[in-house]
Chain A
Amino acid sequence: MSALRILVPVKRVIDYAVKPRVNKAQTGVETAGVKHSMNPFDELSVEESVRIREKKSAPGGVEDICVISAGPAKSADVLRTAMAMGADRGVHVEVKEGEDLEPLGVAKLLRAAVEKENSNLVILGKQSIDDDAAQTGQMLAGLLGWPQATQASRVVFGEGDKVEVTKEVDGGVETVRAKLPIIITTDLRINEPRYASLPNIMKAKKKPLVKMSLSDLGVANERRLKVIKVTEPPPRQGGGKVEDVDGLVSRLKELGAI
């Protein structure tokens, strides 16, 4: 069994608990002064990688856990967080604020990183909670020609480089088996990510963090989608409350709902 060289892409996004506001110019969402953190699905990917090592669940062991993020200078913070959770090192591909990559661009960048780092397992989140595209892992698998196991809730390693993954699908779960190298995207149910402890946060500051540019990886930021406008969704007005069950039933009848 090959030793695992795991690549974990992480994204810095507006914190999941913040309600995003559309900016005045209607060109996007207000990001200045808004709390950002690691995309929640990416925390699951980091956690899973660290657990694979800690639980010695892969017969060949884990040689390396490398986290990578493409984004503005502040993306280094989420890489440090990932290292505090147990990743060995980080790669920061610096992209200017407002020049975000699209999923296809990220997938191309990751393909280059996989080749450079000689990764044989990439664990991504199933989607980022800002763009909600849910594409990058699948695109990367397509570009590399690797098998993909999306929305994973369970990953089990076997002999002979085999990996068995249980995926969340509509109506239940499905299990597939493939050989390394493979792309896995994590679903909420896969694990419960740990909090980085203070000593580990301190240790993470000493772990290697390499800075790169897109051109270092031989990719360009080529955008295919132009954002024409971003608007608030039509507001929903609460219709008020009723006193009792009879009131509820008659109101639902008035509204034609029952």
Chain B
Amino acid sequence: MLFSTATRAALRSVGSLPRSTSAFSSPFSSPSALRRLLSSLAILEQRDGKLNHGSLSAITAAKKLGGSVHGFVAGSSIKPVAEEAAKVEGVEKIIAVDNAAYDKGLPENYAPLLVENIKKGGYTHIIAGHTAFGKSLLPRVAALLDSQQISDITAIENENIFVRPIYAGNAIATVESSDPIKVITIRGTAFPAAEAQGGSAAIEDGVDPNVEISVEWVSEDLAKSDRPDLATAGKVVSGGRGLKSKEDFDKIMLPLADSLGAAVGASRAAVDSGYADNSLQVGQTGKVVAPQLYLAVGISGAIQHLAGMKDSKVIAAINKDGEAPIFQVADVGLVGDLFDKVPELTEKLKSS
């Protein structure tokens, strides 16, 4: 059943309801927005029994749509994660599935799991972050629902119309979806994570189809770092080919990052040359960041790199080539040898 009996009754009388009635307090005034009750499912990520707070961006986006907002979590001993998610303000319900088979978020069984719960809940909008997890999972879900996914959106115009960058952020497309169930991934930097406080959502067990898994999880190797997470950091210092070697990258960039309390990023050139780990890459094919401060060191500013950082609040650049394209987008630029300028900057930041 798609809607509860109460909902159906409410829907029938929708024409006579005042706009402010809570169930219909949609931010959109078009009558079509009222015809079908909006209800969103935000897919939340967890790892080792800990809620990934970055994934609460999906709830922020769901709240912007209006309508009811449910959250979804799955994994072993999921209760504490569900309880934490239930504290997010504005979330009505957390659907939780307790099964270790979902711990690694493998799309082969996670996608059918989601589809079952989406059908049961009658959701109109399915939202996840455009993260490695969301990117691998949601298109599979969309295909199973016969829905054309809308990827990496940066804004919501109404329940059907979404804004997303294309061509590495060189153009912004506004698209309207005609699918009954909208499957959406969101750009985390465009929707700040909802805070996990102030709410008291109900926790409900989801349905578990227990689909046999066709893939075996073997191992993982994650970079360990005490610095802030690149995708969500308030400040990012990023190094490019100009750093010359891994030793120099570490020697120059890490103290600079620590003097600012910043995350470390890198250009593709730096990653390909082995100066920095893959996971640090900022750009079209790496992470998209939008911190308060992005400091580009020894990075020329190719369009693929700009795609990952040009929404930063303040961009600063240090490069010895005064003609480098990065200076066209930088709010403040310093032309000079990074091997002199960066250690000097690090010292001055430390002492100030």
Contacts and interface: CB of A to CB of B under 8 A. Distances in A.
Interface of A: 14, 16, 19-20, 22, 29, 102-104, 107, 126-127, 129-143, 145-151, 153, 164, 167-179, 187-189, 223-233, 236, 238-242, 244-249, 251-252, 255-258
A29 B167 contact: yes
A247 B318 CA distance: 12
B171 A22 contact: yes
A135 B149 contact: yes
Interface string B166-177: 111111111111
A134 B215 contact: no
A103 B139 contact: yes
A141 B142 CA distance: 11
Contacts of A142: 107, 111, 139-144
Given A168-B132, A236-B328, A244-B334, 19 more contacts: A134-B139, A138-B107, A148-B136, A171-B223, A174-B217, A176-B216, A178-B216, A188-B285, A189-B278, A224-B179, A225-B175, A227-B174, A230-B171, A232-B171, A233-B169, A236-B329, A239-B332, A248-B334, A255-B332
A54 to B, nearest CB: 23
Given A104-B147, A143-B143, A177-B218, A257 B292 contact: yes
Given A131-B166, A189-B278, A226-B176, A247 B334 contact: yes
A213 B315 CA distance: 48
Nearest to A244: B334
A167 to B, nearest CB: 8
Contacts of A174: 104, 217, 219-221
A241 B174 contact: no
Nearest to B131: A170
B304 A241 contact: no
Contacts of B260: 258
Contact of A146 (B147, B166, B214, B216): B214
A140 B108 CA distance: 12
B159 interface: no
Given A132-B167, A138-B136, A164 B222 contact: no
Q: Which of B149, B175, B341, B348 has the most CB of A within 10 A?
A: B149
Interface of B is mostly: mixed
A127 B144 CA distance: 20
Contacts, number: 255
Given A104-B143, A129-B167, A238-B327, A173 B335 contact: no
B125 interface: no
Contacts of A258: 235, 260, 293, 349
B53 to A, nearest CB: 14
**Top 6 A-B pairs ranked by shortest CB distance?**
A142-B143, A138-B139, A224-B148, A172-B222, A239-B331, A135-B139
Contact of A150 (B135, B272, B318): B135
B76 interface: no
Contacts of B175: 225-228
13 contacts: A20-B170, A126-B285, A135-B142, A137-B139, A139-B139, A170-B231, A224-B147, A225-B150, A228-B174, A230-B174, A242-B334, A245-B334, A252-B293
A108 to B, nearest CB: 9
B303 interface: yes
Interface string B266-289: 001000100001110000110100
A189 B176 CA distance: 34
Contacts of A19: 170, 303
